[in-house]
Amino acid sequence: MNLFLHQNRIILLLMSKFNQARTQQRLEEVLDSLCRLTGRDIFVVLPKQVDERIPYLKEEIKKTLDLIQRTN
């Protein structure tokens, strides 16, 4: 593999990790805002596996949205 292709693979890998971190951060912010809105007091312990974190946060957001739906 030539150096150019190797560098591009590294850049793509770093971009993917950056995008995942950004998505995770935004989901954490959404969850925090929704929990404040509903008065849901939670303590989040993220999974050790990085690829399980975003699905976990999405599930917690869904639970919180269900609380909003039930109270309306």
Tokens representing residue 2 in the block: 């030539």
Q: What is the DSSP-derived secondary structure letter of residue 53?
A: H
Q: Say if residues 27 and 52 touch (Cβ distance below 8 Å).
A: no
How confident is the model at residue 1, as a pLDDT? 55
Q: Which of 19, 17, 27 is nearest to 54 (CA)?
A: 27
Look up the pTM and report it.
0.81
pLDDT 10s digit of each residue in the chain, 72 long?
A: 576 677 888 888 888 888 999 999 999 999 999 999 989 999 999 999 999 999 999 999 999 999 888 887
d(CA 28, CA 34): 10
Q: In angstroms, how far is the first alpha carbon of the chain from the final one?
A: 59
